[in-house]
Amino acid sequence: MKDIHRKCSHDYWDGIHVNYERAAILTDDWLESFADIIDSCSGPIADLGCGSGNDTLWLLSKGKEVIACDQSENAIRNIRKNFPEIREAKCFNMLDGLPFADASFELVIADLCLHYFRDDDTRRIIKEIGRILQPGGHLILRVNSVNDVNHGAGQGIELEHHVYELEDRTIKRFFDEEDVRRFFGDFEIVFLKEEIMTRYKLEKQLFRVCVRKKEGYRCAIANTGAI
Ligand SMILES: C[S@@+](CC[C@H](N)C(=O)[O-])C[C@H]1O[C@@H](n2cnc3c(N)ncnc32)[C@H](O)[C@@H]1O
C-alpha cells in the first residue's frame, strides 16, 4: 500500500513540475517574518520539497547558499536550469531518509512538503530533520491546516487521524495545533500560527511554524543513510 502512495505522489508531482521558467515562479513573503534567523545563518540552507523553487528564489535573492531538494526529477532539472547560481540541487525521496551528515545545517526550510505522510513516516522524517540540524538550529515550515477546506481538508478516505487518501491514490495530512505540537514535541516551538496564504488561486489555510533543535536533543536514528 505504501509503495502505491509513494509512486502516485512521485508521478503526481513530477507531472506538475514538467517545465518552469524562473520568471513564472511566484513567491510570497512568509519567510520575511523569520528574517533574523535567516540573516544570521552563515551556512547552506536546505530547502526540502523545493518544488519549482519559490523559497529557493527568495533565499537566493537574500544572498543565501541553498541546497534545493525534491523527489521529482523534473523539479530538480528545472531548479538546475533556472538557478545556475545554486550551490546544489538534490533529488531524493524523504521517505528514504535525508542524505546529509548529522548536524550539517543551521537552517532547514520545509514549505508545504511535510503533510503527505502517515504518522510513522512523518515522525521518521521529522527525526531525520532533527538529525541533520545543528544543536540550536532552526526548522521553518508550513503545513496544511484541518481548516484548509479549499484544498481538500476532510475529503477522501481517512486512513489515520487527519490523514486522507485521495482519488489519485496520493495522501494528504491536515494538521491541527495539537498535531503540530505533538509531531514537533522534541523541538522548542519558537513560532506557531494558523493563517491564510494567498499564493494559490484559492485561499489556503495553513500553519506557519518555526522550531529550534534543543541543545540536549537526542537523535534516535543513526546516520545510516536510510530510515
Ligand atoms: C506543495 S509542493 C511545495 C513546493 C514548495 N516548497 C513551495 O512551497 O512552493 C510539495 C513538494 O514536496 C515534494 N515532496 C512530496 N513528497 C516528497 C517526498 N516524499 N520526498 C521529497 N519531496 C517530496 C513534491 O515533489 C513537491 O514538489
Q: Per-residue pLDDT tens for 49-66?
A: 999 999 999 999 999 999
How confident is the model at residue 215, as a pLDDT? 85
Any domain includes 132: yes
Task: Round to whole Å and give the CA distance between 182 and 36.
Answer: 26
Number of domains forming the structure of the chain: 1
Instruction: Report the pLDDT averaged over residues 138-163.
Output: 97
DSSP state, residue 167? T
Instruction: Report the pLDDT averaged over residues 16-34.
Output: 94
Domain housing 53:
2-212
Task: Round to whole Å and give the CA distance between 215 and 140.
Answer: 17
pTM for the model: 0.95
How confident is the model at residue 100, as a pLDDT? 98
How confident is the model at residue 227, as a pLDDT? 38
Pocket of ligand 1 contains residue 170 by CB under 6 Å: no
Pocket of ligand 1 contains residue 72 by CB under 6 Å: yes
Q: How far is the CA of 49 from the centre of ligand 1 (A)?
A: 4
Any domain includes 222: no
Task: Provide the residue type at 218 as one letter.
Answer: R
Pocket of ligand 1 contains residue 54 by CB under 6 Å: yes
Pocket of ligand 1 contains residue 79 by CB under 6 Å: no
Q: What is the H or E stretch that residue 158 is in?
A: strand 157-160
CA-based R_g, the chain, Å = 16
Beta bridge partners of 109: 47, 140
Any domain includes 177: yes
Residue 223 has pLDDT above 60, yes or no: no
CATH of the domain at 196: 3.40.50.150
Task: Round to whole Å and give the CA distance between 117 and 113.
Answer: 9
Any domain includes 218: no
Could you read off the pLDDT of 157-196 as tens digits, one per residue?
Answer: 999 999 999 999 999 999 999 999 999 999 999 999 999 9
Residue 27 has pLDDT above 90, yes or no: no
How confident is the model at residue 180, as a pLDDT? 98
Q: What is the mean pLDDT of the chain?
A: 94
Any domain includes 34: yes
User: For ligand 1, what atom is nearest to the CA of residue 93?
Assistant: 20
Any domain includes 40: yes
